[in-house]
Amino acid sequence: MPPVPNPNSKYDYHNDDTEAGGGQVIQLCKELDILICLLCPVAIKPRIDQVENHYRHRHKTAGRQLQEVIAFAASFSPSSGSQPLALRDPTDKDIELPADGGPPIPGLEIYAGFSCKSCRYLTRDRSNRDRHQILSKHHEEGDNEDEDNEGKRDARWRNWEPVMLQTLCRAPHVRYWIVEPVRTRCGSRGSSRSSRSSRSSSGEGSGGVSVSTSVDSGLLKLVRSCEKEIGRTAAERRRKVEAPGGVDQESRWVQFMKWAAHLQGKDKLALHRAGLSPIPKASELKLWKQEARDANARLRALVESFRRELARGLERLDRVPDETLKWLGSIDATKPVTKPFGHKQEAATMERYSADWERYLCYCARVWPLGRDKAREEHGIRFTDEQWGHLADVIRQLDIVADHNKRREEDQRQRRRQPQQQQHQKSNSNREAEAEADSDTDFDSDINSDINSDVAALDQAVCRFCISSIKQKLGRKQYRNPLLHFTAVLGIKEDGNWVPAHSHTRFLAGFLWCGRVLMLEHFFEDDPYDSEDSACETSFAAIERFHEGHKAWLTSGSYSPFGTIIRWMTYGRGYRNNEEGQARLWWDSDGKTINYLGESITVAGFQSTAQAVLQEAEDWLDKLMGGRWKKGELQQTVRLRDIADSLVYEGPGQSFATNRKNAWLQPGAEKLAGIMGKRLWKITNTGDGSKRYTCRRGAVIEYLGWLKSFRTKMYPATHIWGGQPGRGPEIATLKHCDIEQLPKNIFVFDGQVVIITDRDKSKGLSGGTGGRKVARFLPERLSRMMVAYIAWLLPFEKVLHRLAGIRGPSDSLDPWIWKSAEKGIWDTAILSKQLALVSGVEIGARLTVSSYRHVAVEMGRKIKGLIIRQIDLEAAEADSDNEVADPITGERRRQPRVEYVWDSQATHGSRIARGHYGVNLQFPNQLQPEMMSNYQEISRLWHQFLARTDGDFGERKRPAETVSTAVVDGATKRQRYNLYQREVKSQRR
């Protein structure tokens, strides 16, 4: 973003080496005698016509500012300029660049790049860096004769260093030099390499300590060599897995999983790289060697084969009884679960689970060339004879399919290179061509049938290998199974550290879920259940076979890989629940600045961020309304307290916008059509007294772009102002109207828009009408904007897409409010991006959904009354589960259930009464009037905090000790009163 122009002065002197003009969009660098465009920012050619062409066509500069730019460039003309100067052309290869290690030139962009230690090769691109290291072979020059090959490979990647770069021009005239941003232009300049050498001999070190010039250079060389050897030894030691033993040296999680003991002495990075997924096809061409591209394509074919097998198993879920699926989801051999096993609610979850098995297959394919004994020695993986034989079948069929895919891609490339045939040919030639085409078609069909059989054989071999990995009996030595060995490989992160319990259990869940699908297909393979040829005897024989296999391989305590994974998951979940969260933030002593992972966030900055995103959303809304929103003309027509709405399910498509009682609101597209009609439609008289309306396509596209910008600002504004933040998918999946089976999330209640979502993370994001709910109220200003968006903008958007013929969001996405034609329903990534943009501008820290949640929760703890009401809320919910929250520690504790007399008289308990009897029709389940009142008050306190402009919390809440003491005193008084009542009753008896 260019600096703000200074209309009072033509020139603005930055320092001794630069001067700027033209409204501060062009600058002279006196050191190099070049002109710099501050808008690009790069150096530009000096001739007056070249400067004018650059600003006029590239930056659309015009008027007075363009004349100032031309006058500034003309002032240096040797013939007629006021300050003649021979300016240099930055594209000239002979121009002398600044010396390395100097301060940056103002006006030019600074880039993060890499510098080769053996030559003056500078680049910003990692692939160019790696290619240079391979082709130049500089890493071989300094290697010792006794250094092993592995050390040489490591030296290749240590032969560069990160530096900061500048260049005068962009490609193809780019030429870099090294700069030190911390230095100023008044400092001395010198080569970074010479300065590095001088520091090691007679200059200053990094800490500013001078080294005597009389030190022998040979001694310094010996010390440097020793330090290099020590560093190489330490790096090599860290690459290997160590099993130190002892509670003071080993994590309880790693000790329980026995990863270090199993992988002791193995190379961590080699194990991690062997277990990676293949890169996508689009990135495959970036690989330098053809062998690497072929190997990656081979692994992609293996991954696609597993996906086909998994899809075939998922189809089986719809062809077996629900009782069978209940047994399939059970880890107990004696009883099934209550919910049948099936698809996950999110496709992304199933893709993540499938990726675990895909990585396992790729790992086995990578270790196959080593041989069975060598793989055991280098990786610690063991195969049974059956597993090794099935893996050999997989590799053999994979080679066939991969070779065919390679030939097919080469044929396609050759066809694209051939020139197009002429369209008009003679009739006899056409007949000959048709005859040849028929013969080619027959030949191609034969080839395709052969390939299809090879692909089917590969799929069958992959399935057999996966089943053999599951069907293996294990004793105490659990890692003798290749699948369990790979779970240990997944316990190594890219940096060589161990994966914590809360991250590793998702891998285990993926193996369990996909394994159940594969085993179901294995048990019912070749069974015609639910088909015309099905017979009860055959189907029930398969069901009996399933029950026997389920008990033998898929349950806890079955001495199988599944039994071990179930045990690991049980321990991992318990360990994760007892594991404390990582400390991320702390307060400064003034109590008005919070530090999150090193980023300072002031309370005033946090408040200004919330206000800024709301203001930006309102600005876009005013633009969409033709400038009538801020004036109050349309805003005052949204009378929130007069809007009638119901909080219960009414039917598909029903919302407050379809309620007849809200006809005064005029929901629909007509209101905005009357306001923006002349701008978006061209009206012409046809001559017969009628009018013809033609869409101005350019204006409609521009208006839809405004609407998209409004959405991108309304999205984070709703997340911020709704109260204490939840997870991203909660706000991303909001619906403004009921759908076929589920109710909407947005309601108008008591003069405010309220968002009701599921509280339980384990439940579907929009699934079911039961379960605990959370209500978030929007402030009045944002509530009016939300009503206008739902009632007027969404219908008008559909009309514009239909009449202008522009592709919009699918009709199936009508109930959702955050959507687009390109992305469909928006996800958490879009919300994180928008939050990062607004927070980066306002407070200088880019907060995503996760980081914003940490900061907002900590801010809320400082607001008086918010935590106390949350404690009351938790206590009410805990009572329904026969638990309470300890007032001191907040831990859940069991307590005797409280039963009211009138509930006992009605022959049911108080818990049943609250959940099933006398439930208010206007409120969803477990959101009765007192709960809604609590949520509304919490939202009000949050809105009050965000609306402040003084960077304070207002009236401070009482210290935790005072609150806890008050709660404890109240509980003690109630307990004494209950004891007193019991004594009185006993005396009367």
**pTM (2 d.p.):** 0.61
The Cα 705–Cα 327 span in angstroms is 52
pLDDT confidence of 289, banded at 50, 70, 90? confident
pLDDT confidence of 14, banded at 50, 70, 90? very low
User: Is the link from the previous residue into 41 a cis peptide, with omega within 30 of 0?
Assistant: yes
Give pLDDT tens digits for 514-540.
999 999 999 988 776 555 555 554 577
Secondary structure (3-state) at 250: coil
Rg (C-alpha) for the chain, rounded Å, is 36
Q: Please tell me the predicted confidence (pLDDT) of residue 701.
A: 93
587 pLDDT exceeds 80? yes
Tally DSSP H helices, then E strands, for the chain.
33, 20
E strands, 742-845, in order = 746-749, 752-758, 773-777, 819-820, 824-825
The Cα 35–Cα 169 span in angstroms is 11
Q: Please tell me the predicted confidence (pLDDT) of residue 325.
A: 93
The Cα 267–Cα 18 span in angstroms is 54
The Cα 766–Cα 738 span in angstroms is 11
Q: Region 154-179: what's the mean pLDDT?
A: 80
Sign for the pseudo-dihedral over CA of 822, 823, 825, 828: negative
883 pLDDT exceeds 50? no
Give the Cα-Cα-Cα angle 602, 608, 612 (nearest 5 degrees).
150
Give pLDDT tens digits for 796-818.
999 999 999 999 999 999 999 99
Q: Please tell me the predicted confidence (pLDDT) of residue 85.
A: 81
Cα 753 from chain centroid?
A: 29
Q: Please tell me the predicted confidence (pLDDT) of residue 357.
A: 96
Say if CB 551 and CB 543 are below 8 A apart: no
The Cα 277–Cα 296 span in angstroms is 9
* Alpha helices (runs of H) in 474-535, residue ranges in sequence order: 482-489, 501-523
Give pLDDT tens digits for 179-204.
887 654 444 333 333 333 333 333 33
Nearest to 953, CA basis, from 583, 594, 586: 594
The Cα 317–Cα 310 span in angstroms is 11
Q: Supply the DSSP string of 551-572, one letter for each residue.
A: HHHSSTTSSSHHHHHHHHHHHH
> Which pair of structure tokens corresponds to residue 516?
């159940």
432 pLDDT exceeds 60? no
The structure tokens 């793989």 sit at 375
930 pLDDT exceeds 70? no
754 pLDDT exceeds 60? yes
Q: Supply the DSSP string of 406-449, one letter for each residue.
A: HHHHHHHHHHHHSPPPPS---HHHHHHHHHHHHHHHHHHHHHHH
Q: Please tell me the predicted confidence (pLDDT) of residue 530.
A: 54
Least confident stretch, 358-372, 752-766, 935-949, 972-986: 972-986
Q: Which residue has the higher pLDDT, 63 or 865?
A: 63
* Highest-pLDDT range among 530-534, 597-601, 788-792: 788-792
N- to C-terminal Cα distance for the chain?
86
Compute the CA torsion angle 306, 309, 315, 321 (nearest 10 deg).
-110
| Size of the chain, expressed as the number of residues it contains | 989
The Cα 141–Cα 156 span in angstroms is 10
144 pLDDT exceeds 60? no
Q: Which residue has the higher pLDDT, 895 or 506?
A: 506
Q: Which residue has the higher pLDDT, 704 or 688?
A: 704
Q: Which residue has the higher pLDDT, 88 or 141?
A: 88
Q: Name the residue type at position 795.
A: P
What residues have CB less than 8 Å from 838, skipping those under 6 apart? 609, 612, 613, 616, 716
Q: Please tell me the predicted confidence (pLDDT) of residue 210.
A: 39
Secondary structure (3-state) at 924: coil
The Cα 790–Cα 746 span in angstroms is 10
Q: Region 150-159: what's the mean pLDDT?
A: 50
Say if CB 200 and CB 212 are below 8 A apart: no
* Highest-pLDDT range among 103-117, 179-193, 466-480, 519-533: 466-480
Say if CB 177 and CB 184 are below 8 A apart: no
Sign for the pseudo-dihedral over CA of 513, 519, 524, 526: positive
Helix 697-721 vs helix 603-624: crossing angle, to nearest 10: 150
User: Is the link from the previous residue into 172 a cis peptide, with omega within 30 of 0?
Assistant: yes
Q: Please tell me the predicted confidence (pLDDT) of residue 911.
A: 52
Q: Please tell me the predicted confidence (pLDDT) of residue 940.
A: 83
> What are the Cα distances from residue 919, in Å, to 183, 616, 766, 776?
71, 41, 22, 21
Q: Please tell me the predicted confidence (pLDDT) of residue 903.
A: 42
> Which pair of structure tokens corresponds to residue 780?
């009045």
